[in-house]
Amino acid sequence: MEDRIVTACLVIIGNEILSGRTKDANLPWIAARLNALGIELCEVRVVPDVTARIVEAVNEVRARYDHVFTTGGIGPTHDDITADAIARAFGVALLRDPRAVALLQAHYQPGQLNEARLRMANIPEGADLIDNPVSRAPGFRIGNVHVMAGVPAIMQAMFDAVAPTLKGGPVVHSRTVTCGLPEGVLAADLAAVEQRHAGVSIGSYPWFRMGATGVSLVLRGIDGAALDRAAADLAAVIRRLGGEPVMEQRASAR
């Protein structure tokens, strides 16, 4: 663990996300896992299945963040162009990787490992493979970029394979206080509570449910005791304004 904040970016590759046809489910899952590892997800980009756009996005973000994760585009079909794009981004060759070929040979019945499937063994030169216990075709890591599948079950297995190798920093914890007061009534005191508690940031998220309205106030920071003090302070402020604070307990640290 390091003392400084460790950062990450997620690059979601796929026309199906940009067309609205497929709803991405990977962002919140990866965000929660990174948070638990002490890695802050600082940016997400969704880019189309266009080599130049993938190259550009990956090169921009790998220079800026400690860790980069990509999802999508590593299957056997013509629209799976991520491995080629990553090789171009790093200026290395795309090679048929003997380790990946061996994994596929062990997985497929004799005669089933056709050229399309062998494309999944094309890996940028110098990359490490990422294990895929679900369907064998591996992901890979090159530099600080981790290339994973887009199918959630496979992506999750690949992330779990990679997680022990990721360097994290301090873990950000959170407390959530909910109440039925409108944001506009709370706003001035909310800013004051944040000011009073160094290292605690407060996000304010209004909600509208079944005709009722209210706000979820999310306190985040690396010091759990400071978060508890700030949450208690905020609860007192809410009571003073005539509201009823509800402290929400979440199992996962976000």
Interface pattern 30-49 for a copy of itself (x via CB under 8 A): xxx--x----xxxxxxxxxx
What lies within 8 Å, CB to CB, of 197 at 6+ separation is 221, 226, 229, 230, 233
DSSP-assigned letters across all residues of 140-184: EEETTEEEE-SSHHHHHHHHHHHGGG----SPPEEEEEEESS-HH
Which of 208, 211, 240, 249 is in the footprint of a copy of itself by CB under 8 A? 208
Closest distance of CB 126 from a copy of itself, Å: 26
Q: Is 101 in the site for a copy of itself (CB under 8 A)?
A: no
Name the β-bridge partners of 218.
176, 203
Question: Considering beta carbons, is residue 128 or 135 the nearer one to a copy of itself?
Answer: 135
- How far is residue 57 from each of residues 6, 102, 251, measured CA to CA in Å? 20, 31, 34
> Cα angle vertex 67, ends 61, 72, to 5°?
75
To the nearest whole angstrom, how small is the minimum distance from the Cβ of residue 3 to a copy of itself? Answer: 21
The residue within the footprint of a copy of itself, chosen from 98, 126, 199, 203 (CB under 8 A), is 203
Residue 174 binds a copy of itself (CB under 8 A):
yes
With binding defined as CB under 8 A, does residue 199 bind a copy of itself? no
Q: Who contacts 46 (Cβ-Cβ below 8 Å, separation ≥6)?
A: 11, 12, 13, 14, 17, 18, 24
Q: Which of residues 62-91 bind a copy of itself (CB under 8 A)?
A: 75-80
CB of 83 to a copy of itself, least distance (A): 14
Residues that bind a copy of itself (CB under 8 A): 12, 15-24, 27-32, 35, 40-49, 53, 75-80, 112, 114-117, 119, 151, 153, 172, 174, 183-188, 190-191, 194, 201-206, 208, 218, 220, 254
